[in-house]
Structures are given as structure tokens and as C-alpha cells.
Amino acid sequence: MPKGYLNIVLHAHLPYVRHPESEEYIEERWLFEAISETYIPLLIYFDKLEKENVHFRITMNISAPLITMLKDPLLQGRYRMYLLERIRLAGKEIKRTRDNKPLNDLAKMYFYNFKEFYKVYKRKYNSDLVEGFKHFQDIGVLEIIACPATHGFLPLLYVNPSAVNAQIATGVDVYKKAFGRAPRGMWLSECAYIPELEPYLRKYGIKYVFLETHGIMNANPKPIYGTLSPIVSPNGLVAFGRDDESSKQVWSSICGYPGDPNYREFYKDIGYEADWNYIKRYVSRSGHRVDTGIKYYRITGKTSEKQLYNKDKAMEVAELQADHFIHSRIDQVNAVCDEMKIPPIVTCPYDAELYGHWWYEGPYWLYVLLKKIHYNQDTIATITPSEYLEKYPNIQCSAPSISTWGAHGFNEVWLNPGNDYIYRHLHNAAERMQYLAQTYREPYPLQKRALNQCARELLLAQSSDWPFIITTNTMVEYAHKRVKDHIGRFNALADMIDKNEINEEYLEDIEYKDLIFPDMDYTLYI
């Protein structure tokens, strides 16, 4: 029996960026890049671990917008075209770099990778990666958990409790339809917690959540074992806290693994460096240079003069860092296990997109880590939250503290002078949605469609991604536009409903653009 456990949690989420009205929305590339660099590589390595009979456990959240996009035929088709373009570009690069062997070897690496991704995506998973992840849940090595419908920032939405109810209920509903079972856990958007959320989480069967470190450490009474054991609130909700030490080893920009100088440099892509006439058909038709996924250089150091990437060296470093992470967790467990009545659990939550997209070697590091934990030691083992709670149900009762995992630990990333205007519109729309739901309890078919679309537009406007993007000053114009569009569509439809003058052509257009939550139920706002 192991002395302690490792609880690895991957939070996979992207905002809903489906734009059928145009092929010029470069934001759809966020999805395509994540599929190529994170989701497919993770599935490839999960498959390798399964074939190698490696015992492993991972917890993963796949948000409702991401589930919807991964299952959308339009986006599936666009992604296949995206991959084919990457294959063609890598083929061109092989010819262009034929007189430079190190560059040529890297071009061949990308050519092979893109072809492999296409084969895995189209043939193995029939373009549906959700089914791929479902397989690993069905065989018991992956525990997938739910997320609020559009990753809404629930503490700030609680001004209208019906908004929180709809976010949680819709997220759970999407999960059930995708995975054929009810979720046991939920990833709270941005790990944002207030006690008022608990009745809604329990209402929809959620047994546990994850909190930032201080959400546990500032709990009342103070947890005896800190974040090395979950706590249960007086309402019966279990909370696992992020382990600070293991998080820094991966996340930290100063000492974290992804900053190693041998790893691939994220910010140096041929999409920005190649001659325009050469690269233009592989980037944006509108003339914007974007990432192609072909990057030839390593981090090197804090210099603009980057050296060529050496894959073999990078993989070697990843293996050494996996060893370091394991030994660190063993030391951590050994230091406390004799003082604890139950085995400690080290909870390590990360954005899934860190693995592969931001940290190119991340999926391989995770694969090596899980393999080494299985074969090279017996002090720690990986485990899911549900398995841990089944083994050790008697945990301390304590009320978690208000918290988020954003900068400085509370709400300022999502509520500040740059984005605070959003909330008066969200709160007004939520109040009006509640009024509509209470007023039109027996709608005729067209009216019901309009009411459900109002609910969709409100949920999409509530995404925490929009205020986050504004705060981080990336794609700010797009974030402003999304809030404006969804609130505008909501108000236009609400006016039509109140006047009993629903323009079906207008409604159809919006339904086509915002094709999410097909089973939306506006009565959630009653």
C-alpha cells in the first residue's frame, strides 16, 4: 500500500469560438491549436500507457463549450482542413530547408507529427475526441468532471441566484449527455468559491470541487493537514486544495519546468518570420500573421538570439524533471505520512493546455511521470478524488474560505475598472431572463425557441473568458465584441417576446451562429 497519493487534475477549457458566418475568425485557431498540441497528444500517450499496462489515474475536466466544439461537425471539418494545410506547409518546409540538415530534421518532425495527428483524429477517433476521452473514463483510468455551462464566474453572477443555477444545471446536463453518467465532481470556473454556491452544487449531485491553496488554508476551523487532505463543508461538499509546492515546480515562470532553456520556444513561429508571399496561404486570409505550429528554436535563455531546438535533448530533460517531480513528492509524503491518520493526497491542478500548447514537451513529461510512478517506486500512487474518498471517507469538517486561483487569489482579474462595465449588463439580463421564465410558462413553439435562445445568449455572455481577456490585454476587441453581441441578441429577442413579434428569420440566424446547448431549458431561471 502506498504511503501517499498524487491527484493530477487537468482543466481543459476554451471559450465557445464557433463562427459559421465566416472563415476569417482567427479565434477558431485557439481550438485547432489546442487539439493539435494538447488533446491529441494526451490521447496518444494515454493510449500508450493503456497498451503498456501502466496503472495510472488522472482527473480531467472538459468544459461544456469545449465538449460542444469538439463534437461540432462544422468545426471538425474545419480542423481537418487546418491539419491538411499544416501537412502541406511542413512538406514545403522540408524542401525549403533541404540544405540545412538540423532545420530539415525539424521540418520532417513536424511533417510526421501532423500526418500522425490527422490519422489519429480522422481514423482512430472519427473526428470526435470526446469519445476518445470517454473511453479512458469507461476503462477506469480517467475521471472526467463537469464545469459550469460557459465557465461563468459564479461568485460575481450570484447577484441573481437563478444565473448560478442555470450555469451549474446546464454544465451537468452537457456532461451527462456526453459521457452517459452523472458527474461526481465539478471544476469551479477559475476555482472561484463562495459558500452560497454549495446548495446549487449539491442540488445537481456534485460531491467535490477543487480550490486554490488559501481556500483550504483559511478554512474554519483550520484544517489539521492543510492541503494534504480534503475537507468537507458543513453542507457536505468536499473540497480538495491545490498543493503549492508541486504547483510551483510546474507553473512558476522562475523555477518551473516549462522554462528550461532546452525546451521549445513558444514565441518564435515561422508564421511571423517567413516571407509573406511564401507563408500567406497558411496563415490568415485577412493578412494577419498567426502561429503555424512550426517552431524551430529552443528557449535558450533571456535573449533574442535563439538556438535550434534539439528534440532528443528536450526529451532527456523531460525525463530528468519527471524524476525530480516524483522524488519531490516522495519526500513530501515521507515528511508527513507518520503524522497523519490517513495517507496524504497531493492535489496538482493545471490548465490542460499547458501540456503541449504552452509547454510542448508537457504531454511526454506526463507520460514519463506516470510510467515512472508505476515502475520505479512504491511510495506514492496516482488516484482520482472519487477513489480517495471511497478509501478514506472520514475527513475533517471545515468551512472553505472565499477564494479563486487568479492573481492575488480573489476577484480582481475578473472585476476591475477595465471590465467592470460588463456586469451591469449581465445582471440586468439575468433579471430579465428570470422575468421571462416566470411570465411565459406555457409558450407556443416559436416563443419557446426564442426563450431558450435568450438563455443561450445570456450563458455565452457570462463566460469568464471575456473579462479575463480584457484584463490580460489579449484579443481585447474580440472580447468586447462577444459581450456586446450576446447581450445585444438577448435584448433583441427579449423585446420580440414581450411584444409578441418574434422575427423567425432573425431567430434562425442566431440559432445558427450560437449553436450550443441544443437541450437548453429556459425554465431553469424560474
Closest to 59 measured CA to CA, from 9, 117, 107, 115 = 9
Which pLDDT score, from 0 to 100, does residue 491 have?
98
Has residue 285 got a pLDDT over 80? Answer: no
Which pLDDT score, from 0 to 100, does residue 346 have?
98
| Residue range 265-276, pLDDT digits in tens | 999 999 999 999
Has residue 373 got a pLDDT over 90? Answer: yes
| Residue range 45-76, pLDDT digits in tens | 999 999 999 999 999 999 999 999 999 999 99
| Residue range 12-58, pLDDT digits in tens | 999 999 999 887 788 999 999 999 999 999 999 999 999 999 999 99
- Phi and psi at 230, nearest 5°, equal -70, 165
pLDDT above 70: percentage of residues in the chain = 100
- Secondary structure class of 81 (helix, strand, coil): helix
Is CATH 1.10.540.10 what the domain over 415-525 is classified as, yes or no?
Answer: no
- Phi and psi at 231, nearest 5°, equal -125, 160
List the CATH code of the domain at 4-71+128-264+309-408. 3.20.110.10
| Residue range 458-512, pLDDT digits in tens | 999 999 999 999 999 988 999 999 999 999 999 999 999 999 999 999 999 999 9
**What's the mean pLDDT in 87-114?**
97
**What's the mean pLDDT in 96-118?**
97
Separation between Cα atoms, residue 252 and residue 321, nearest integer Å: 14
Is the distance from CB of 181 to CB of 189 less than 8 angstroms?
no
Separation between Cα atoms, residue 358 and residue 493, nearest integer Å: 40
**What's the mean pLDDT in 440-456?**
97
For residue 12, the 8-state DSSP code is E
Which pLDDT score, from 0 to 100, does residue 386 have?
98
Which pLDDT score, from 0 to 100, does residue 474 have?
87
Separation between Cα atoms, residue 452 and residue 522, nearest integer Å: 5
Which pLDDT score, from 0 to 100, does residue 202 have?
97
- Average pLDDT, rounded, for the chain: 96
| Residue range 204-246, pLDDT digits in tens | 999 999 999 999 999 999 999 999 999 999 999 999 999 999 9
Has residue 254 got a pLDDT over 80? Answer: no
Confidence of residue 284 (pLDDT cuts 50, 70, 90): confident
**What's the mean pLDDT in 168-177?**
98
Q: Where are the domains of the chain?
A: 4-71+128-264+309-408, 415-525
- Alpha helix positions (H), 124-267: 129-138, 154-157, 161-179, 198-203, 213-217, 244-251
Which pLDDT score, from 0 to 100, does residue 253 have?
65
pTM over 0.85: yes
Terminal-residue alpha carbon distance, the chain: 50
Has residue 252 got a pLDDT over 80? Answer: no
| Residue range 336-353, pLDDT digits in tens | 999 999 999 999 999 999
Which pLDDT score, from 0 to 100, does residue 331 have?
97
Separation between Cα atoms, residue 102 and residue 308, nearest integer Å: 8
- Phi and psi at 399, nearest 5°, equal -90, 115
Give the 3-state secondary structure of 410-448.
Answer: CCCCCCCCCCCHHHHHHHHHHHHHHHHHHHCCCCCHHHH
Separation between Cα atoms, residue 195 and residue 400, nearest integer Å: 8
Angstrom distances, CA of residue 60 to CA of 8, 170, 184, 222: 8, 18, 12, 28
Has residue 288 got a pLDDT over 90? Answer: no
The percent of the chain in helix, strand and coil, each rounded to the nearest 5, is 55, 10, 35
**What's the mean pLDDT in 181-194?**
98
Separation between Cα atoms, residue 146 and residue 144, nearest integer Å: 7
Is the distance from CB of 24 to CB of 284 less than 8 angstroms?
yes
Amino acid letter, residue 432: R
Has residue 424 got a pLDDT over 90? Answer: yes
